[in-house]
Amino acid sequence: MNDRRQFLKNSLLASAGLALAPLSGATAGSMDGLPQGLIYTQANPGMWGKKVGGHLPRVSVDGDKVGVFTKHGMSEKHFIVRHTIVAHNGKVLGSKTFSPEDEEARSSHTIPAEYRGQKLYATSFCNKHDMWVAEFTA
């Protein structure tokens, strides 16, 4: 199981970096420019249109603290694998990997001062329904 978790962790980090890196600079204004089926958002749920409520990360901001919650069950067959906070420039600011034994997919992160007030992205990766991203400002 540890090898599988490490594989999923590495795959998600690589995917997030590759997918979000083009968002820096002139194209940072919106995630709508991404191809459909790569990353899912509230505006672009793709084939998972009925899964938004249980897969889109919910973000709360309180000063430099960011909470991420995915309202999703956690079982061996179907669970949220990971949350990640990614800056507009592709830098990973925080992450938490979950296991099916966790009661819920909830994480908390501290945003460095240089990224406050900037556009950030919270990811939630489901082992069956792919990667979901919510854009927010901390």
Residue 11 pLDDT > 80, yes or no? no
Q: What is the pLDDT of residues 74-129, one digit of tens each?
A: 999 999 999 999 999 999 999 999 999 999 999 999 999 999 999 999 999 999 99
Q: What is the pLDDT of residues 23-66, one digit of tens each?
A: 433 333 345 666 778 899 999 998 998 999 999 999 999 999 99
In a domain, 66, yes or no: yes
* Distance, CA of 22 to CA of 38 (rounded, Å): 13
Spatial CA neighbour of 124 closest among 87, 89, 95: 95
Confidence of residue 16 (pLDDT cuts 50, 70, 90): low
Total of domains in the chain: 1
Residue 137 pLDDT > 60, yes or no? yes
In a domain, 32, yes or no: no
In a domain, 110, yes or no: yes
In a domain, 58, yes or no: yes
> Domain range holding 74?
2-25+39-137
Bridge pairing between strands 92-97 and 58-62? unpaired
Find the CATH number of the domain harbouring 45: 2.60.40.730
Spatial CA neighbour of 38 closest among 107, 123, 136: 123
